[in-house]
Every structure is written in C-alpha cells, then in structure tokens.
C-alpha cells in the first residue's frame, strides 16, 4: 500500500516529514533571492546578509524541531527527517551558479496529493537541488506504490524575476514555477496562491498533471509574497482561519462560502536576529493539524490559541523560536504525507 496517501490538511495524521536546521545559511546573492526575499529591506544584492546562521539559532531551531517531532511520535505519527546537507557547496546550471540554503522547510519542496508526491519547480535557485535531501525517503515511497514525479526543472534565468516592479508580479510567467507551499488541499478542491513563488503556468501544469478529478482555484490579488499558509490555515471541514490584513471578506475563496471563518487575531512577534525579518509576523498563524480536533500552534500566539479553543479545537502549544529568522512555522517545517480518510468533495 502506498505510504503516500493524503487528501486534505486535517484528517488524522499518520506520517509526516519534519525539517532540520543543520548548516542553515542565507544563500549567495543573486537576482532571484534579492527580488523575492530582500529587495524590500536592502538596497542592493550585495547587501544581502549571506552566510551561515549563528550556532545559537541553529541549535535552538533544532531543539524546537526535535520537540515537534517528539510530540508527533507520541501521537502515533511516523516521523521522517531529511538528510543533513552541506549548503555551503557551490552548484549551478550552464546559466548561473549559487550555493544552498537549508532543509528546514520541506513544505516548500514536496507536494503530496492522493498517492502522488511531486518535487516542485521552486522559485529560488539556491533550492534547486533541495529535493536530493529527501531522495532516500522518496525511494521508499516509490517502492511502496506511490507515484513519484518531478515537475520540469525551470531555467530561472535573470529575466524570470522583476525587482521592485511598478506593476505586475515579481515572478514572470516564462515557465512553470511554484513552491509546494503555494498549495492547500481541500479534497477535490485545491487552492493555489499566485504570488512571487508561484506563477500561472505552474498552476496550469499542476492542473494538467492532477487531472479532472481536482479543481484548482487560483488565489489572486491577495498576497504578493511567497506562500499561502500565512494567509489561510485550514482547521477542519467548515472551519478556516484567514489573515485579516491580506484578505477582505469579498476576497474569500468561494469554497469557503458555507464555512465558519476565524479572522486571525493580532499576532505576537517572536523576534528575529537582524534589523529586519525574513518572514512576516503572520508566521504565528502557520499551524498544523494532527487531526480535526488537535492543532499544533506557536506557544506565543495566545490569542489565536484561545480562539481555536473557543471553536472546540485542542491546541498543543509548542515553541518555534526562530520562525521569523528562518522563515518557517509548524506548517512550513513539515509536510504531511499520509492521513487516514478518503477523497471527498467539501464545496
């Protein structure tokens, strides 16, 4: 039986990949990294603070990840971790060279849908070969019967990116490009955030690969930043958390027209090491569901925890001290591979 089998974000969790912070660093400067992550905070590519994170940040991040993995194991979840990688090594294509970043956020790399797991065509050059850290795991999934595919590797030339565009997107539509974290699964409905880490061609490629059994809904004009999981957090059928800073009531996706909406309360800032963060304060709503009644939430987000509890959700409050430093909360640092349950239509 395929070890990959998942249809939504809330069914009882059976298997999950949790990231590691080993050797995490800010990659070497290039046009894509500057356009996507840094042009709002620094003047030029050369001002990007490239190099390794401090030993303290890596140690504390790994402590939090290990604590999260331990909680999952205690809940009966099979937990797998990526291989440790030397991210300082240089690599490239005929068109560019770079170095790596980390294996902290598997959510960005791999997209499981049904019994298929997809290596995604990610937007940053520095993450081009990041799927290799999961190769042994993917081989085991394939041996179990899972369908393992990789999207076409994008060229990611300089003209793929627009730095500080006056109009239009930072990410051009020259080839399919998207991070897995641009996607949320709601049974037969799939939400896809069109943003600087996911373009329209990526949406079209995904729809064609998944076929007519799925309906992919573009989420547009909401958030031009990277991923969807600091804007929308799925709790269970009929209950969703939305970001009130990014989404107006008239922009709520039609799949939620009969759902109860929790407009996320004010977030607590968990801090960051530089004069500016790598991720927004909304990392605080980046949560993961172990089952429809149990959420893992950053322990600093007391207001959100109380709101979830008010809707009969039990919360496992856990530390994630460097979510804004390393750009990843509990949803980002994990990818759910298998949940019990079947493919259903929730719309």
Choose the catalytic residue: 7, 227, 322, 331.
227
Closest residue by Cα to residue 105 from 241, 279, 343: 279
- Strand ranges across the sheet with 215-219: 183-186, 189-193, 215-219
| Domains contained in the chain, CATH given | 13-227+329-339 (3.75.10.10)
* Residues β-bridged to residue 82: none
Residues 82 and 23: their CA atoms lie apart, in Å, by: 13
Residue 167's pLDDT is 82
Query: Per-block average pLDDT, block size 10, for the chain (347 residues)?
Result: 97 98 97 94 93 96 98 98 98 98 98 98 98 98 98 97 91 98 98 97 98 97 94 98 96 96 97 86 97 98 98 98 96 98 94
**Residues 6 or more apart whose Cβ sits within 8 Å of residue 143:** none
Question: Catalytic annotation on 345?
Answer: no
**Residues 6 or more apart whose Cβ sits within 8 Å of residue 243:** 223, 230, 231, 232, 264, 282, 285
| Contact (CB, 8 A) for 340 and 11 | yes
Question: Catalytic annotation on 7?
Answer: no
Choose the catalytic residue: 179, 189, 229, 336.
179
Residue 275's pLDDT is 80
DSSP state letters, 180-195: GGGEEEEBTEEEEE-B
Choose the catalytic residue: 64, 264, 332, 336.
332
Question: Catalytic annotation on 87?
Answer: no
Closest residue by Cα to residue 197 from 252, 89, 88, 279: 279
For the entire predicted model, the pTM comes to 0.97
Residue 206's pLDDT is 98
């Amino acid at each position: 039986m395929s070890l990959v089998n998942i249809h939504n974000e809330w069914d009882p969790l059976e298997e999950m990949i949790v990231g590691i912070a080993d050797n995490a660093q800010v990659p070497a400067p290039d046009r894509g990294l500057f356009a996507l992550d840094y042009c709002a905070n620094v003047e030029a590519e050369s001002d990007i603070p490239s190099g390794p994170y401090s030993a303290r940040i890596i140690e504390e991040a790994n402590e939090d990840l290990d604590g999260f993995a331990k909680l999952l194991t205690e809940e009966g979840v099979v937990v797998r971790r990526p291989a440790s990688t030397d991210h300082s090594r240089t690599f490239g294509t005929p068109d560019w060279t770079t170095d790596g970043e980390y294996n902290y956020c598997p959510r960005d790399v791999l997209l499981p849908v049904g019994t298929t797991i997809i290596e995604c065509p990610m937007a940053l050059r520095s993450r081009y070969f990041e799927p290799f850290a999961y190769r042994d795991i993917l081989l085991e999934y394939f041996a179990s019967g899972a369908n393992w595919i990789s999207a076409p590797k994008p060229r990611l030339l300089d003209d793929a990116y627009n730095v500080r565009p006056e109009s239009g997107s930072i990410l051009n539509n020259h080839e399919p490009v998207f991070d897995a974290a641009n996607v949320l699964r709601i049974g037969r409905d799939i939400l896809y955030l069109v943003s600087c880490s996911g373009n329209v061609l990526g949406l079209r490629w995904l729809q064609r690969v998944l076929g007519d059994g799925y309906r992919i809904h573009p989420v547009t004009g909401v958030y031009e930043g990277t991923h969807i999981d600091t804007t929308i957090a799925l709790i269970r059928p009929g209950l969703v958390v939305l970001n009130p800073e990014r989404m107006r009531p008239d922009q709520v996706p039609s799949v939620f027209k009969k759902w109860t909406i929790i407009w996320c309360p004010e977030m607590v800032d968990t801090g960051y090491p530089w004069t500016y963060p790598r991720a927004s304060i909304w990392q605080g709503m980046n949560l993961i569901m172990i089952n429809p009644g149990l959420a893992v939430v950053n322990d600093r987000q007391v207001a959100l925890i109380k709101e979830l509890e008010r809707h009969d959700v039990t919360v496992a409050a856990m530390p994630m001290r460097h979510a804004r430093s390393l750009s990843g909360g509990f949803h980002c640092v994990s990818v759910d591979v298998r949940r019990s349950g079947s493919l259903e239509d929730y719309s």
